Structures are given as structure tokens and as C-alpha cells.
Structure 1
Amino acid sequence: MSIKNWTRVGLAGAVMAAAIVAVPALAQSDRGVEARLAALEKRVALEEDRAQIENLTRAYGYYIDKKVWSEVVPLFSKDAVVEISGRGVYKGAKGVDTLFSKVIGRQHMGLADGELSNHMVLQGVTNVAPDGKTATGRWRAFIQIGMWQKMGLWAEGTYDIRYVKEDGKWKFSLMRWYGTYFTPYDKGWAQASFGNNGPSKEFPPDAPPSVQYDAYPGHYVPPFPYPNPVTGRPWTQADTDRYSTRGMDPSNAANSSSAGSPLSLESQRQQQPPR
């Protein structure tokens, strides 16, 4: 065989050897691409979940603004638990409806003439579980309540929320709202503050309040449902206890900053729209 032919055979063998080596390498590369695509698809799905959760929470705020309780109740899961500002724990669809339409709404749908009830739901931090079935959220509500030429009220507080995907849709499974302060518009938080609401006698909760805490001039730090985003340190109940006051809620007559007001705390509350 000539040198030329030997060269051809050698080149053909080299090509075949390279092809044999390349086949598993290409297969391995394909598997790597598939893994990266799967991870990317999961990230996209979680971001879509986050967007749906944030839209759900913001929609809730707009319905609350106008007291459209018939639109609020369907946003909760069938086994939901809700607790708003010391009123106690309400459970299930019936409990959610009782709390919003009867306790807070006083059996009235929509705003009364001359009524203001803005609940601006802001500063959301949401985290979706890796399986895409549950999530946590922490939001705050800045609130303006008023009746034309009668009264005005400022309030603010923190929402601690759990979400669940039920029948393919995100819903609230647990909602707690901790009031930071409640103060008359004409006096402001420097001079007057109301305490937390208590349980309704007419429409009692399914369980008493899960925690007793101080509103302003006291303060309470609801547990953070997420770790520190930089250090990774989780928040503990000991942290909440450390940074929260005890016995400073204005409901305590000795500490009530509404003392000396022309109207008693109870009579002022009777003139207010529900909060």
C-alpha cells in the first residue's frame, strides 16, 4: 500500500476515533442543556407564581377599599384562617365571610355615603416554596378612614400571609394583620392613639386572638417569615419578644393617650366606620 493510501486510512481512522469520542461528549452536553432548561423553566414558573400572588394581594386591597365583601371572600382557601387586629381567629369560608361582611363590614356591602376607607397594601415581600404549592408574604397597609364632616382616622399595620395553590389558583390560606397604630386625624399620632380591637360579642370568633400585642405608643414586631436576605439568619420568637413592648397598648386606661379627649374612646369608635 502506498504512503498516500496509508495516509488516507490513518485520517479515516482518526475521524472515526474522534466521532466515537464525540458521541458521549455530545450526549453529556445535551443532558447539561436539558438540565439548564429544566432549571430555567422552574425559575420562570416560580416567578409567574410570585406575580399571581402579588396580583392577588393587591386586588384584595382594592376590594377592601370599597368594602366589596362578595369579592373578598373568594380570595381565601376553603380552610383559610384569618385574624385581624385583635378580633380573634375566624376559620373556613364561613368564618372569613363573618369577619369581613359582618364584623368589619357591619352587615353592609359597599361604602356608605360620605365614607372613606382606603387600604393601601404596600411593600410586599413574597417567597414561593420550591414545589410551587405554597408561599409566604409580608405586606403593610396604610389606611385612611373617614366620614364626611364627622371624623377621620389614620392607621397602619403589617400583614403576615400564607398562600396556597388551590385548584390551580393562588389563594390566601392564612392572614394575620397586626395594627401598628390607630390615631384620629385631627390629633395625630403624637397626641392620641387608639388600642387594638377586641373580639365581637355579636359575631364571636372561632378562637381567641393568637397573640396579645401592643399598638402604638407600644410596638410589636410580627415574626418575619423569611431569613435575612444577606446573612441567611432566620427570625425567632425570641427576637420578637426582645424588640416588642408589653403593657403599652392604649386600651390600657392608665396608658391611654386619648385621656382628656372631648369624646371617650368608646364614643369615638362608635362614630367611626369599621376598621
Structure 2
Amino acid sequence: MTEQISVLEKKIEEVTKRISDLKDIDSIRNLHHTYGYYFDACLFNEVVDLYAEDSEVRFMGGIFKGKESVRRFFCDRLRMRHSNGHNGPIYGFLLDHIMMQDVITISEDGKTARGRYRTFMQAGRHELAEGLTRQWWEGGVYENTYVNEDGLWKFKILDYRGLWHADFNTGWAHTPPNLYPFFSDTYPNDPIGPDEILDIVPKPVLWPDTGVLPFHYPHPVTGDEWDQNKDLNTSK
């Protein structure tokens, strides 16, 4: 009887952990998709409120460290470029970035989590709107870290790797190499730049160069970690 009770207690513990993980996965998925809706509406104040105090953003080879730097990235950089400094949607600006294929992993202690998403963007500015008229496609991958603070999941690290950009009319087959520069200078020399330059090998690249943002999870069948330095033939 004692052995049976021990087995049942272990099963209850496993089921309880599984239910807790599923609830956390659902909360994190909602958090990330909520971020997406705010972002597409240019509600950057609301986006920043989703971040922990010691959070960071990794974008185009730069690292914005701490919530105030996160605010600089979204409000001083993106809000000025996308919505002319206005917090919210403006006439004639389209920013739809669809997020999907999420793989979310909860840590053993339930305090942090990792999430990977693919995004596909269609964006542009109408010819009747204020600013440069343009329209473009974009695709990329998120590899994020989340933290549970007092029962609320928040962004700890948002790591977005833009993989390709394309002019709407000519498409990705005609994208010029090095279309957009990666960060090369830091704040305050660059008033809207990152605090650090990302120092990793291989370095991030843009189409037609190709690369892989490393997976936070092992192979689900073999259990192997993917080796980013193996079998890559990414650029000329």
C-alpha cells in the first residue's frame, strides 16, 4: 500500500507540473500575440509595458539593455519611423506582421521560458500618406526569453532575427545584398542605437545570405542540440 501511494503521489506531481506548464504556455502565447497586435497598431507605449525591468531587445546585431533602452528602441526609434512619433495607428501606414509556428518551453522551476516564432510581414506607406511611399515584404524568426514576475509573464529578452526583406513589386529574388545595415555604433554616439553590438559567430546575415537563429530546444527525436557551425553554406 505504501508503494502504491508513493507511485500515485509521483503521478499527481507529474500531472500537476504538466497542467502548470500548459497554463504557462497558454499565457506566454497570449503575451506574445498581444505584443504583435500592439506592435502592428504602433501602440509602442503598450508594447514597452509588457517588458520586465531588466529586459532587453536584440535587433539587427545590437542589444538594447534594460527597460529604458527597450523604450528607446520602440518609442524613440520605431515609433518615430513608423508613426511619426504618434503612439497609435496613423493614416496610410500598414504594419501587419503575422506570427506563427510557436514552440514554447517552460523551465524546470517554472520561473522562465523560451519561445520561438516565425513572422511574416506586409508593410508600407500609402501614396496619400505623409512620408516616403513604399511597400515591402519581410520574414524573420523570434527566439525569446520570458520571465514570471509575481505570477505575470513578461518579456525578458526579445531576440528578433530578420531573415529577408523584399520590395513588393520585384520580390525576394531581386533583393540587393546588404539591403539594410546592421548596427555598427552604440548609444549615445547613435542616439537611437543599442547599448552593445552583438558579438556572436556566425554573425547575423540578411538574404540572399542565409543563416539560422539557433534553436532553444533539442531535436525532439534524437535529443541532439543543433550545431550552428556545422553544415552551413550561407554566403558567397
Name the TM-score, length of structure 2 as normaliser. Answer: 0.86
Aligned to 2:211: 220
Is it true that 1:100 corresponds to 2:68 in the alignment? no
Aligned to 1:206: 195
The structure whose residues are more often helix, as a share, is 1
Is it true that 1:124 corresponds to 2:98 in the alignment? no
- The 4+ residue runs of structure 1 with deviation greater than 4 A are none
**TM superposition shift of 1:85:** 2.6
**TM superposition shift of 1:244:** 5.1
* Structure 1 residues not aligned, in runs of 5+: 1-24, 249-275
Moved more, 100-109 or 122-131: 100-109
Is it true that 1:36 corresponds to 2:11 in the alignment? yes
Q: 1:195 aligned to 136, 160, 179, which one?
A: 179
SS of the aligned residue for 2:197 comes to coil
Q: Is the 8 A contact 1:89 1:210 kept in 2?
A: no
Is it true that 1:138 corresponds to 2:154 in the alignment? no
Quote the RMSD (CA, aligned, Å): 1.8
CA distance in 1, matches of 2:167, 2:89: 20
Q: Is the 8 A contact 1:221 1:244 kept in 2?
A: no
Choose 1 or 2 for highest CA Rg: 1
The structure whose residues are more often strand, as a share, is 2
Q: Is the 8 A contact 2:175 2:207 kept in 1?
A: no
**TM superposition shift of 1:132:** 0.7
SS of the aligned residue for 1:89 comes to strand
Aligned to 2:36: 61
Aligned to 2:22: 47
CA distance in 2, matches of 1:213, 1:55: 28
| Paired residues, number | 219
Q: Is the 8 A contact 1:179 1:196 kept in 2?
A: no
CA distance in 2, matches of 1:154, 1:197: 17
Aligned to 1:157: 140
Q: Is the 8 A contact 1:223 1:235 kept in 2?
A: yes
CA distance in 1, matches of 2:13, 2:204: 46
* Identical columns (%): 33
Letter in 2 for 1:142: F
Q: Is the 8 A contact 2:218 2:224 kept in 1?
A: yes
Q: Is the 8 A contact 1:134 1:164 kept in 2?
A: yes
CA distance in 2, matches of 1:90, 1:71: 18
